[in-house]
Structure 1
Amino acid sequence: MTYVRSSDGTRIHYQVTGRPGAPPVLFIQGLGASKNGWILQRIASAPWYQAIALDNRGAGRSDKPHGAYSLEQMADDAVAVLDHAGIETAHVVGASMGGAITAILGVKYPERTRSLTLACTAGMNHPWREEMLVEWRDNALEHGIGAMSREAARFVIGPRSFRRFLPAMGWLGPLALGRPAHAFAAQVDAILNVDASLSDRLDEIQVPVLVLAGNQDILTPRGDSEELVDRIDTAELAVISGAAHGFMFEHASTFNRVLFDFLGRAERAWVERESARTGSLADAG
């Protein structure tokens, strides 16, 4: 198992799979979820990409320190993973809270990103969603993760798939069973306390951006995705019919088709930009 220590000493676990030397893709999961939430994408990407999947602090095999977390801190953790893995730039794919972390990476570390994918991601905290997250946090702290997981899972999985996917929720996440309540609560607070000024800088993003939405997502409805596209000049929107918040595993084949089509186009654009840049540097020399 591979770990890196972040700037504050927290151990962050990550795993590299796929083809060595291939275009790198960094996968960042959402609230309460581990890197296992990307298993179907990592398997499918193996012939063409090098996948780096991390466990955010507070989830999976990463440390779960007591105290406050922040999404900026988690973005710094992701950069520490890239540094430790020897990767200068990567396509970054994030879901939900992981999408917010991905957007922060695009703003704070533009030189480390080739493209961004923001799946089921919101650009701001609406009051109704804040109230729901507070309820989840308080329920987890008072009664444990298991007490609130079944109710919360209904916001992640579409009604047609709920019975089929619920047994896997403890392994895949989000809201995975067995996570300590204090770590889950710290992640919730990180979402609630995100620096609003970072959202105001989304128009600084220059790399290609895919905004992916499910038309049955009630946790981050399509309107959240449309708002992101309006605010990011380089963004394109893709909506998957019949998909809810957990569409990376509920509708994995469609999700993967859309994602890999975008990553292929973004990688070609990055290669062209790098060729033009290095050619210009050579001419200048």
Structure 2
Amino acid sequence: MKKLIAGLALILIGSTALLYLSPAAQLASLQLIERQRAGLSLKQISVNNLNIHYYEGGPRNAQTILMVHGFAANKDNWLRFARHFSQDYRVIALDLPGFGTSEKPAGSYDVGTQAEHMASVIDALGIEQLHLIGNSMGGHINALYAARYPHRTRSLALLNNAGITSPQPSELMQLLQRGEPNPLVVKSPEDFQRLLQFIFVQPPYLPESLKGYFAEQAIANSAHYDQVFAHLIDRYIPLEPVLPKIQAPTLIIWGAEDRVLDVSSIDVMRPLLRDPRVVTLADTGHAPMIERPQLTAQHYRDFLQSLHNSRSESGRGNNQEHVGIKKPAQ
């Protein structure tokens, strides 16, 4: 009990101290706190002459979950989601090349190229098989990987994934078709506030100092993100022909109020996949793992548990790694 009280006191003192730090120091301190709560450590690896940064935690001999972020995002998107899995799984949250603190190489940033970068990272980390979960562009990349490397993919979870021409065009697609500015690329402080409203139904709380800092960082990267988005459009790889090649059990989770990628994409994907499990989250936008981390984690954990149960029931469980399932942390 004394240790618990002491720990809470340290958190309170640390939270108060954050108010007096620079925005960059505030962010670094918050990232450290969230990493510790998630049981993750910051690591890096050199792959094909690229310096790749990632978070890793959990038992090294457990099954691996690889978490892949979306456009203009980074590995921090998974911190509050990852804490629900790092006790039972080896969790890796990746900064793709060109994003976060990973290297920004010259060349293409289309999803096909990124899928091969990811394959090289997986090989370098010595992972034979893994569970994949990705949001938006990250889901697009993961689906390509699962189709290209079916023997390496234990399962696939797609959160509001890109790569589908939806029956109902999303608000983003309609804006771009009218020639209006891309709301995902921030070029002014006001753009950043609009971005939060565009991505989320209820944006997560951010102190004003951090909002300003995030806006500055996004503005500084705007030319790069314009280039990346152009590659995604000009070198687009549709998922419709790819999905039937995926052999892994698949979970689709979609925020019903997504303005970036319309929820009607599910209607296209469902008949192309092998009996996918589908979850639609009400009052949720484009990034469920940020907006509703615990609920999204519960659906994903239920999915993983169902895979474990089905393997056990079919008699194949003797050759599978045991994964304990616990109630998500609060």
Check whether TM > 0.5: yes
User: Residue in 2 aligned with 1:43?
Assistant: 83
Give unpaired runs (5+ residues) of structure 1. 279-285
CA contact (8 A) 1:89 1:111 kept: yes
User: Residue in 2 aligned with 1:281?
Assistant: none
3-state SS of the aligned residue for 2:285?
coil
Structure scoring higher RCO (CA < 8 A, sep ≥ 6) equals 1
User: Residue in 2 aligned with 1:76?
Assistant: 116
Mapping for residues 54-133 of structure 1, pairs under 5 Å: 54-125=94-165, 129-130=172-173, 132=175
Residue-by-residue CA offset, 1:174-219 (whole Å, 9 max, x unaligned): x973662233123312321344455312111111000101111122
Is 1:149 paired with 2:192?
yes
Instruction: Choose the corresponding residue for 1:265, options 295, 299, 306.
Output: 306
* Cα distance change on mapping 1:217 and 1:139 into 2, 3 Å: closer
Q: Measure, in 2, the Cα distance between the counterparts of 1:164 and 1:239.
A: 24
> Could you tell me which amino acid in structure 2 is paired with residue 266 of structure 1?
L
Q: Tell me the CA shift for residue 164 of structure 1.
A: 3.1
User: Residue in 2 aligned with 1:22?
Assistant: 62
CA contact (8 A) 1:41 1:248 kept: yes
Give TM-score scaled by structure 1 length: 0.82
Instruction: Choose the corresponding residue for 1:220, options 249, 261, 278.
Output: 261
Is 1:189 paired with 2:241?
no
Q: Tell me the CA shift for residue 82 of structure 1.
A: 1.4
Instruction: Choose the corresponding residue for 1:177, options 212, 218, 222.
Output: 218
Q: Tell me the CA shift for residue 130 of structure 1.
A: 4.4
Q: Measure, in 2, the Cα distance between the counterparts of 1:170 and 1:90.
A: 37
Is 1:208 paired with 2:249?
yes
* Cα distance change on mapping 1:83 and 1:146 into 2, 3 Å: farther
As a proportion of its length, which structure holds more helix? Answer: 1
* Cα distance change on mapping 1:198 and 1:219 into 2, 3 Å: closer
Q: Tell me the CA shift for residue 233 of structure 1.
A: 2.1
3-state SS of the aligned residue for 1:162?
coil
CA contact (8 A) 1:33 1:60 kept: yes
Q: Tell me the CA shift for residue 224 of structure 1.
A: 1.1
3-state SS of the aligned residue for 1:211?
strand
CA contact (8 A) 1:123 1:227 kept: no
* Cα distance change on mapping 1:125 and 1:83 into 2, 3 Å: same
Q: Measure, in 2, the Cα distance between the counterparts of 1:85 and 1:106.
A: 17
CA contact (8 A) 2:74 2:95 kept: yes
Q: Measure, in 1, the Cα distance between the counterparts of 2:148 and 2:311.
A: 19
CA contact (8 A) 2:158 2:251 kept: yes
User: Residue in 2 aligned with 1:282?
Assistant: none
Q: Measure, in 1, the Cα distance between the counterparts of 2:162 and 2:56.
A: 28
Q: Measure, in 1, the Cα distance between the counterparts of 2:315 and 2:102.
A: 34
Q: Tell me the CA shift for residue 225 of structure 1.
A: 2.3
